[in-house]
Amino acid sequence: MADIARITEIVEPEVKALGFELVRIKIMGAEAGEGENALQIMAERPETGQLLIEDCAELSRRVSDRIDELEEAGETLIEEAYRLEVSSPGIDRPLTRLKDFEAWTGHEAKIALIEPVDGNRKSLHGDLTGVNGADIAIEDRKSGPLTIAFANIHSARLVLTDRLIAATRPLDTTGAEDILEEQED
């Protein structure tokens, strides 16, 4: 299995060099011999929370070149064959940092826990109500108000709702006015 911490040490400086913030690094895919592995890198521009296609391509080239350098020097980061995927987190983004929970307080989220809370529950679904230090507050649909330690979160993501769509910054439309439409004769 690949060492995510080591991959992060390699990738994060490349992300920062372009002025982006790292959201998540994840290995996905062929655990049980099913298809191809993927090294997924999610990043965003801090001012917009998104990456343009050109940003993804530039980051992909930088990361690929850096991994190639390390492999030529004898270090193998991922044993199996894989493809590199670079993307923006999207509207129903994963919540991977405390600041993500702060930024999206008031929005609906699904959270999977490492250790159960409120009896035997490892899955929560409800509105994020705040962050206090390293604790996340949620108004869970089944249990009501709960506070959970950030360290107890296995994964979390926003749920696509009308409220989230309305609150999401519009996509960057730079260059859209330069698009020419062909007219039929």
Strand, helix or coil for residue 81: coil
Angle of CA points 65, 69, 70, to nearest 5°: 120
Per residue in 24-76, pLDDT (tens digit) is: 999 988 554 556 889 999 999 999 888 999 999 999 999 999 999 999 999 99
Fold of 4-87: GMP Synthetase; Chain A, domain 3 (3.30.300)
Write down the pTM of the prediction.
0.81
**Domains of the chain by residue range:** 4-87, 98-166
Q: Residue 169: left (phi > 0), alpha (psi -120 to 50), or beta? A: beta
pLDDT band at 80 (very low <50, low <70, confident <90, very high): confident
What is the Cα–Cα distance from 128 to 158, expressed in whole angstroms? 9
Give the residue with greater pLDDT, 10 vs 165. 10
Q: Which CATH number fits domain 98-166: 2.30.30.180, 3.40.1110.10, 2.40.50.320, 3.30.160.340?
A: 2.30.30.180
Of 44, 148, 175, 151, the closest CA to residue 103 belongs to 44
Of 3, 1, 51, the closest CA to residue 23 belongs to 51
Burial of 30 (0-12, 13-18, 19+ CB in 10 A): middle
Give the residue with greater pLDDT, 175 vs 107. 107
